[in-house]
Amino acid sequence: MNSNVVDYISKTEEWQTELALLRQIMLDCALTEEFKWRSPCYTYNNGNVILLGRFKDACVVSFVKGVFLRDPLKILTKPGENSQSVRTIKITSTAAIEKLRAELKTYIFEAIEVEKAGLKVALNESKTLDFPDELLEKFSIDNDFKNAFESLTPGRQRGYNLFFTAAKQSITRAARIEKYVDRIFKGKGINDCVCGLSKRMPNCDGSHKTLN
């Protein structure tokens, strides 16, 4: 059990009970509890399987490789138009969780089998803005961040996307995303000035280097 997850749930107002119940289901399925992307993450043999998140209107279960799940109940949805791997289930009550408890565990065990098999998603690289799954995972657990990113100009979105996808390793892509969360919330592009000293606004000209 991860202390960061305990803090995350205890500080949640609208969906505390629902997240606590979902967490217990994850632990019942023998997943390892970690804390990644500022959210509860459940892994198998160090592979990310499920993320728990919260929106204003629901809490969400995100299957990292949900595209491989059979989904007999047709309850999985894409977190975004460009999502090629992640699939989510939105939850709005403990009653809904209890009603789906057995089926949800079936989905979880299938997701574990997908991880055991080492299945990889063949990402389509044909689209100009083909977001990496690490960014889509962040969208799926943080709706405010998703809205902030989508509020950026197309050029700013493209700049971030090129920077994030340039990293070869997943852990590096995730770290880059986290590093720029605050800047994105401020509506700034990756090369925009944030110190207010630039003489080439909105671009950064290096004036921040004069700050002590």
Alpha carbons 163 and 34: distance in angstroms, whole number:
26
The answer to whether the peptide bond before residue 202 is cis (omega within 30 degrees of 0) is yes
Question: Nearest Cα to 97, choosing from 7, 178, 199, 24?
Answer: 24
Q: In Å, how far are 87, 117, 198 from 113, measured between CA atoms?
A: 16, 6, 52
Q: What's the burial of 106, exposed, middle or buried (CB within 10 Å: 0-12/13-18/19+)?
A: middle
Question: Nearest Cα to 114, choosing from 35, 43, 34?
Answer: 43
Q: Residue 7 domain-assigned?
A: yes
What number of other Cβ atoms are within 10 A of residue 155's Cβ?
9
Residue 163 is part of which domain span?
Answer: 142-210
Tokens of 89: 């289930």
pLDDT at residue 199 in the model: 60
Q: Residue 102 domain-assigned?
A: yes
pLDDT at residue 128 in the model: 54
148 plus 75 within the same structural domain: no
Amino acid at 119: L
Q: Residue 34 domain-assigned?
A: yes
91 plus 173 within the same structural domain: no
pLDDT at residue 38 in the model: 82
Q: Residue 99 domain-assigned?
A: yes
pLDDT tens for each residue of the chain, 212 residues long: 799 999 999 998 889 999 999 999 999 999 999 998 788 999 999 999 999 998 888 999 999 999 999 999 999 998 877 678 899 999 999 999 999 999 999 999 999 999 999 998 876 654 456 888 899 989 999 999 999 999 888 888 888 998 998 888 889 999 999 999 999 999 999 888 777 665 655 655 465 556 55
Q: Residue 132 domain-assigned?
A: no
Q: Residue 104 domain-assigned?
A: yes
- Counted domains in the chain: 2
102 plus 191 within the same structural domain: no
Residue ending a domain, among 77, 102, 117, is: 117
Q: Residue 131 domain-assigned?
A: no
153 plus 202 within the same structural domain: yes
pLDDT at residue 162 in the model: 87
CATH for 16:
3.90.1150.200
162 plus 200 within the same structural domain: yes
Q: Residue 195 domain-assigned?
A: yes
33 plus 82 within the same structural domain: yes
Question: Nearest Cα to 128, choosing from 163, 86, 153, 161?
Answer: 161
Tokens of 106: 């079936």
